[in-house]
């Protein structure tokens, strides 16, 4: 055992001396690996950061949340021309589902995607996301009121002229003023501010609640029709916990089919989608991005690996005479093999560490520049970068090291001379 430890130590020492004596060549070899490791870890870190931010944005929404809509969130077997003729969800549909479907914890009817200008005296904010919904959206979306309150069931049903502001909207319109009880103008009408929401932060998927306002959909239904096409009208259901979701969905479909008068054999003129399905689509997208990142970055790694292999072959040729002398003095093939193999591995590891260091610096800078988007460099990516660089060094240096270890000492000395 001691013999092998001594062999490793001496081989490692020879490798370090060889790298110190050829600084320019070492630097060029390091550069290739550094670029390769930086590319792949930077891409993976960016995808991980995107994935983490998306998951954080969706964290407050129950994965079992179910959407009943007249359009499909994903691919559908229903022809497009049929889907375009489906009737959008109406308030009566919402009332039927909320009263007749069992095991519902919370239910809401919403008209999403509307954007309007909201004004308070001389202040105005344009292109604001207006969330028109019944008060059930408060429980389903896990919103938290900071000041005041959310509109109640009575205000929701009667369509009271009240409004709840997201954090950024309240700050933009009122600054340091208390907005509760003040009148804002939207749709050319005045509404009373009854609440403001706690700050949530940036949302990677859609607008953050900070940048939205919430008001009863029945208020807007008094002067705007919901029977227009291309509108995002949906019934959102939060099922009770620990129920059979498949059975719940089947019951929902069957009863809603009967309510809509659909006969046996006719296709559903509505879609029932779980939020978990949307999450699965996002996971598939993240996986695709990871795959693309790997495919692109592997080219950089190959370049770095070929660079090390090329340098190692040059190194073997330059030190052929020294190899012959070492072997004639009794150096074993293993010693020569490890000497060059360690040289390649050290090159790759140092290059990989530099690449990881550059990724870390870039992430710190990006994290400081970004306000709410969080960049991460996970321990898994650090280990991956270190492992990849070691593997590149091992593979790139193996053939030159074997070639050096098999040199005949006499021929090596003669060739070197």
Q: Considering the chain, what is the average pLDDT of its residues? A: 80
Strand partners, 274: 66
Residue 60 has pLDDT above 60, yes or no: no
The mean pLDDT of 217-243, rounded to a whole number, is 85
Mean pLDDT is lowest, of 50-54, 232-236, 350-354, for 50-54
pTM: 0.63
Residue 383 has pLDDT above 60, yes or no: yes
**Higher pLDDT, residue 20 or 309:** 309
Range with the largest mean pLDDT of 63-77, 131-145, 199-213 = 131-145
Going by pLDDT thresholds of 50, 70 and 90, the confidence category of residue 19 is low
Distance CA(357)–CA(363), nearest Å, equals: 10
**Higher pLDDT, residue 346 or 148:** 148
Q: List the structure tokens of 308.
A: 């090390």
Residue 183 has pLDDT above 60, yes or no: yes
Residue 328 has pLDDT above 70, yes or no: yes
The mean pLDDT of 322-343, rounded to a whole number, is 74
* Every domain of the chain and the residues it spans: 2-58+285-416, 87-269
Going by pLDDT thresholds of 50, 70 and 90, the confidence category of residue 175 is confident
Distance CA(92)–CA(219), nearest Å, equals: 15
What is the share, in percent, of the chain residues with pLDDT greater than 90?
A: 18
Going by pLDDT thresholds of 50, 70 and 90, the confidence category of residue 279 is low
């Amino acid at each position: 055992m001691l013999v092998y430890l001594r062999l490793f130590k001496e081989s490692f020492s020879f490798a370090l001396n060889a790298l110190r004596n050829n600084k320019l060549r070492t630097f060029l070899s390091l550069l290739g690996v550094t670029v390769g490791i930086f590319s792949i870890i930077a891409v993976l870190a960016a995808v991980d950061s995107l994935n983490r931010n998306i998951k954080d944005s969706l964290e407050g929404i129950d994965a079992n949340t179910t959407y009943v809509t007249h359009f499909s969130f994903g691919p559908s077997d229903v022809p497009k021309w049929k889907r375009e003729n489906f009737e959008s969800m109406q308030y009566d549909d919402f009332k039927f589902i909320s009263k007749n479907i069992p095991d519902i914890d919370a239910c809401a009817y919403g008209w999403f995607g509307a954007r309007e200008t909201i004004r308070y005296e001389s202040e105005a904010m344009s292109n604001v996301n207006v969330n028109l919904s019944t008060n059930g959206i408060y429980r389903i979306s896990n919103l938290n009121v900071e000041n005041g309150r959310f509109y109640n069931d009575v205000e929701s049903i009667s369509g009271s002229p009240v409004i709840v502001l997201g954090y950024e909207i309240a700050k933009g319109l009122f600054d340091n003023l208390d907005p509760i009880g003040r009148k804002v103008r939207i749709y050319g009408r005045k509404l009373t501010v009854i609440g403001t929401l706690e700050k949530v932060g940036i949302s990677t998927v859609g607008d953050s609640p900070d940048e939205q306002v919430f008001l009863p959909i029945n208020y807007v239904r008094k002067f705007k029709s919901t029977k227009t096409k291309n509108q995002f009208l949906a019934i959102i259901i939060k099922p009770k916990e620990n129920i059979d979701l498949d059975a719940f969905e089947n019951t929902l479909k069957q009863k809603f089919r009967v309510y809509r008068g659909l006969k046996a054999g006719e296709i559903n003129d509505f879609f029932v989608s779980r939020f978990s399905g949307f999450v699965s689509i996002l996971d598939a997208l993240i996986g695709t991005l990871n795959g693309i990142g790997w495919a692109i970055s592997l080219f950089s790694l190959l370049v770095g690996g070929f660079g090390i292999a090329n340098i190692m072959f040059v190194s073997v040729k330059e030190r052929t005479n020294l190899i012959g002398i070492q072997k004639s003095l009794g150096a074993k093939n293993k010693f020569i093999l490890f000497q060059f193999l360690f040289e390649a591995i050290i090159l790759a590891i140092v290059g990989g560490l530099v690449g990881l260091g550059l990724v870390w610096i870039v992430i710190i800078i990006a994290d400081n520049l970004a306000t709410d988007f969080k960049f991460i460099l996970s321990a898994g990516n650090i280990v991956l970068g270190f492992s990849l660089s070691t593997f590149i060094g091992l593979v790139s240096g193996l053939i030159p090291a074997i070639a050096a270890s098999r040199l005949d000492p006499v021929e090596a000395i003669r060739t070197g001379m």
